[in-house]
Structure 1
Amino acid sequence: MELGLLLRRRLLGRWRQFGRRRRLGQLVIDARQGPIRRGGNNIAVLRRLTFLLLFSLAAAQAAPPLQPLIDATPAGGTLRPAPGSYAGPAVIARPMTLDGGGKVTIEGAGRGTVLTLATSGATLRGLRLTRSGDSHDGVDAGLLVEGDDNLVEDNVVDDVLFGIHVKQGRRNRIANNRVTGRPAPRGARGDGLRLWYSRHNRIEGNAFHRVRDLTFANSPDNRVLGNTLADGRYGMQFIFSPRAVVENNRLSDTDTGIAVLYSPELVVRGNSVAHALDGGGAGIAFKDSGNALVENNEVLHCAAGLSANAPLNAEAALTVRGNRFAHNVVGMYFYGEKGGHRIEANRFDNNLTQVGVSAAGVGEANLWQGNAWSDYQGFDRDGDGIGDTPHEIWLWADRIWMETPRAKFFANAPALELLDFLEKLAPFASPSLILRDPAPRVAR
């Protein structure tokens, strides 16, 4: 900055010399140097001076680097930079507190990761991290955490490929941050949050917008609490990441809400998932991830409310309890050759198809108990809140699209609805029982 100011002062002095000149016909009179013939050389000098002046102004206004300030802060110390913008990338390699007070911006200049936290026991607070690189292979992010027991809170991360990347980190707390990705097709974006071989971390109160996924890969025993995400591909995906607690999150406008792959013993509780309408997606999807609890969630307006394959054994079954599945194309969809899941005390409100299966007998093999069905046609004469007759769902013409997935395009089409009605009046073949709930709940 001092070099830029010096250049600017000298160049302004030269401009003042030009200002003292007087024009007489074809001659230029300089107060000190006498007559000078006007020509191309003077124009070239003016152009060079203009370029140097602009260069000096840019140099004077360039953001100072943050790294020297970090290097000057001792272990355990606190760095509170003056409000303004600082140049990254930067690396924190010792435990310290970096507090921007909501007035400090770190700019990555479009290359690499903006800020790397390569230590344990540090705190990052009140920063804006922006302008990362664009390499998916390099996982260019706003923030990379490569340590344990760090606190990252109240930061803004925007104009980045990946948002926050926790790599082989334990017991970190990522709280109350706002992450916004770059405008791009969903598959071309980076993850808003990415945990890789990281465990016992706490992710809570963060807001993610316009990102690809929140990805937990080979990362067991994490807690994901009270976050929001809008406009993404997968709201959250857990891959080989067992025993996570996913609670009170709000996900909307994604292809799939929560996808659980090869990750047993999850608790998915109190979440809201809406508008996951990709043709192959679902609000909540399980694949080979048994012994999980899905409780008190609300899934609205999705391609399928809950999708799950058959458990490998009785211990690997899902417990689906106290949820509301409403206004979905399919409330629940089960695929596989056998059932065994426990589905109790849920509400199925006005789904186009309440329950779908890939083959006859799959749904019936599950345990259904005490669910409330908007299309229940029985009575509750004794007023105890339990229907007098069981609720049964039979497979009539719907078997066409359930057994032939390509025909799903015609589900709920007028022709198929008419065929379904006629088959109920005069069956062409014996229908298949999808489920039988012996004690359905009735709304009072």
Structure 2
Amino acid sequence: MARGNHQSSPAGRALGLALLLWAAVHTLPGIAQSRPTLAERIGAASEGDVIHLNAGIYHGPVTIDKRIVLQGEEGAIVEGDGESSVITVSAAGAEVRGLTITGSGLSLQAMDSGVVLHESARGAVVANNRIENNLIGVHIEGAPDSLVKNNTILGRRDLRVNERGNGVYLWSAPGARVIGNAFRYGRDGIFTTTSTDNVFADNRFRDLRYAVHYMYTEDSTVRDNVSVGNHIGYAIMYSSRIEIRRNISRGDRDHGLMLNFVNYSTVEDNAVVDGGKKCVFIYNANANEFRGNRFEGCDLGVHFTAGSEQNTLVGNAFIGNRTQVKYVGTRNLRWTEDERGNYWSDHAAFDLDGNGIADQAYRPNGLVDQIIWRMPQAKLLLSSPAVQLLRWAQAAFPAIRPGGVVDTAPLMRAPQLPACVNRELNR
């Protein structure tokens, strides 16, 4: 029988074509299978898993609702949709590490953020990330014992200051800590309200409205932070029992430190230098202790209002301020304790017995100062004979001196700051 050409069936041809296409997809360069999205990978993970992200762009928003670690290598970017928060954490103990996080929405009402830690995210960690161009960097929305550490948090430079969010916004999160971060270009670096037992330490702040802003917060610590070139360094308001230690404010334009309705707090071993207006502004603040601080190079060393009572100021150094103290009040305030006062760079006094205490008391303000503060137009008369006579009479007859600050044991030398503060100032 003659042999004819063998022709494959339609089914055979279809099978062969399918095999060729399969081989092409799995062998040709540049053609890959679709990979799971970041949200799908999180959804498929189990408690305790670590999700490693290689360099590349991963799309948000995503929600972490189980205790996992989301860990990125250098170049791993999680990018939001510009409409909401980028990463939301609702699981206790979850961690977000090593990522660039960007692209939140711009709604202050919705609190759009790079990372949100919900109240259920107890002990969550946000560490070693670059969080940039979001409205709010990290929103700690009631997550107790959470940790925000060693992140770089950069706000939106294209927005006006009042349109920006804060670097870290903390609300009602007992035990939360913000440590070792670098903040720039937001509204406030760290803003906290209605919270307790928080620690803000070893952070650096630049180009902000306030570096640290406290409202209605108690029993907390601000220590070892550095604020440079902000409007206000440390604004502590309506709070009690705050420890403010070893912080630096350098070149902050309005106030280095502001205490407004603050009570029973400690301000110790801080340095406010080269400020624009006031090193320290104390307004209706009571029963606070100021010890071992350096207030240097401001127009006004301390502005102390009449509503502030029972405050202790001892062992501080007031150096080279244009006006050391402004106190408009009639009470006498004695800034001395156990025969030890403060150092005043403009106090020309002797120490004949060599005990380190000046032999003459220091009064930073006189009757003329108070007249000028109450009636600024009186500055025109400063060089007049009448004013000179008034200054002489006040010096000769102490009984006519007005109420004000008096340091009965001024120090002959400025107390030394802690070594860690001096090292930072000398950098």
Shorter-chain TM-score: what band?
0.7 to 0.9
Equivalent position of 1:233 in the other structure: 209
Question: Do the aligned residues in 2 keep the contact of 1:357 with 1:402 (CA within 8 Å)?
Answer: no
Question: Do the aligned residues in 2 keep the contact of 1:339 with 1:365 (CA within 8 Å)?
Answer: no
| Higher relative contact order, structure no. (Cα contacts within 8 Å, ≥ 6 residues apart) | 2
Q: Where in structure 2 are the equivalents of 1:393-432 lying within 5 Å? A: 393-403=364-374, 407=376, 415=380, 418=383, 423-425=390-392, 430-432=400-402
- CA deviation after TM superposition for structure 1 residue 188, in Å: 1.9
Residue of structure 1 aligned with 2:268, choices 271, 295, 301: 295
* C-alpha separation in 2, matches of 1:178 and 1:266: 26
Equivalent position of 1:391 in the other structure: 362
* C-alpha separation in 1, matches of 2:345 and 2:335: 20
TM-score normalized with structure 1 length: 0.78
- CA deviation after TM superposition for structure 1 residue 173, in Å: 1.2
Q: Where in structure 2 are the equivalents of 1:43-442 lying within 5 Å? A: 65-146=37-118, 147-183=121-157, 184-213=159-188, 214-278=190-254, 282-302=255-275, 303-311=277-285, 316-337=286-307, 339-361=309-331, 364=333, 367=336, 369-403=340-374, 407=376, 415=380, 418=383, 423-425=390-392, 430-442=400-412
Structure 1, residues 31-70: CA drift from partner, whole Å, max 9, x if none? xxxxxxxxxxxxxxxxxxxxxxxxxx9xx9x998421111
- 5+ residue gaps, structure 2: 1-29, 415-427
Question: Do the aligned residues in 2 keep the contact of 1:269 with 1:296 (CA within 8 Å)?
Answer: yes
Secondary structure of the residue aligned to 1:418 is coil
* C-alpha separation in 2, matches of 1:66 and 1:338: 55
- The worse-fitting range, judged by mean Cα deviation, of 232-241 and 262-271 is 232-241
* C-alpha separation in 2, matches of 1:103 and 1:320: 46
How many residues align? The count is 371
Secondary structure of the residue aligned to 2:138 is strand
- CA deviation after TM superposition for structure 1 residue 264, in Å: 0.5
* C-alpha separation in 2, matches of 1:121 and 1:322: 39
Secondary structure of the residue aligned to 2:70 is strand
- CA deviation after TM superposition for structure 1 residue 138, in Å: 0.7
**Residue type at the aligned position of 2:320:** N
- The worse-fitting range, judged by mean Cα deviation, of 391-400 and 77-86 is 391-400
Structure 1, residues 350-371: CA drift from partner, whole Å, max 9, x if none? 111101113232x626556421
TM-score normalized with structure 2 length: 0.81
* C-alpha separation in 1, matches of 2:35 and 2:321: 56
Identity of aligned residues (%): 29
* C-alpha separation in 2, matches of 1:262 and 1:97: 37
Question: Do the aligned residues in 2 keep the contact of 1:116 with 1:143 (CA within 8 Å)?
Answer: yes
**Residue type at the aligned position of 1:399:** Q
* C-alpha separation in 2, matches of 1:240 and 1:306: 20
Question: Do the aligned residues in 2 keep the contact of 1:339 with 1:366 (CA within 8 Å)?
Answer: no
Cα separation, partners in 2 of 1:65 and 1:234, compared to 1, 3 Å: same
* C-alpha separation in 1, matches of 2:79 and 2:169: 21
Question: Do the aligned residues in 2 keep the contact of 1:157 with 1:178 (CA within 8 Å)?
Answer: yes
* C-alpha separation in 2, matches of 1:63 and 1:187: 41
Structure 1, residues 376-433: CA drift from partner, whole Å, max 9, x if none? 11112233321122222232332245335xx4xx89x7x4653665642466994424
Structure 1, residues 191-218: CA drift from partner, whole Å, max 9, x if none? 0110011110111100000111121010
Question: Do the aligned residues in 2 keep the contact of 1:332 with 1:355 (CA within 8 Å)?
Answer: yes
- CA deviation after TM superposition for structure 1 residue 103, in Å: 2.5
Cα separation, partners in 2 of 1:338 and 1:123, compared to 1, 3 Å: closer
- How big is the alpha-carbon RMSD for the aligned residues of Structure 1 and Structure 2? 2.6
